[in-house]
Structure 1
């Protein structure tokens, strides 16, 4: 079985790659735009349930998304 490899990208880049603006992504994730902005800027880190939603909505594995500058 071949494993797909992805480079690490920012949460904002993953959103843009999915073709979503912040308002669309926030609605799909069930969070406010301000909350999404906080996630993207690294001010806050999403809870595990939200991370799972991000994977589904952005169609990108969370293992390859920088969720905050603190996780580097």
Structure 2
């Protein structure tokens, strides 16, 4: 199964960084940081991303 980045998953979901951050309950600066350093994303936030971006966790590439 091909994997994509957190940023690509957000873009594919049709969300801006600000929209996604609001839905995730984090600042857009924090989301930007996570998109650049995906290994730092907390598990609870990742779970929200899977749901909001409508993507299977196996499809996200984490650095």
TM-score, structure 1 as length reference: 0.79
Change (3 A) 1:67 1:43: closer
Listed as ranges, the gaps of 5+ residues in structure 2 are none
Match for residue 20 of structure 2? 25
List structure 1 segments (4+ residues) > 6 angstroms apart after TM superposition: none
Q: Which protein has greater RCO, CA pairs closer than 8 Å, 6+ apart?
A: 2
The aligned length equals: 63
Match for residue 57 of structure 2? 62
Match for residue 39 of structure 1? 34
2:8 corresponds to 1:13: yes
2-structure distance, mates of 1:38, 1:45: 9
Listed as ranges, the gaps of 5+ residues in structure 1 are 1-5
Query: How far apart are 1:30 and its partner, in Å?
Result: 0.5
Deviations 1:6-59 (A, max 9, x none): 410011000000000000000000010011001100176211111110011000
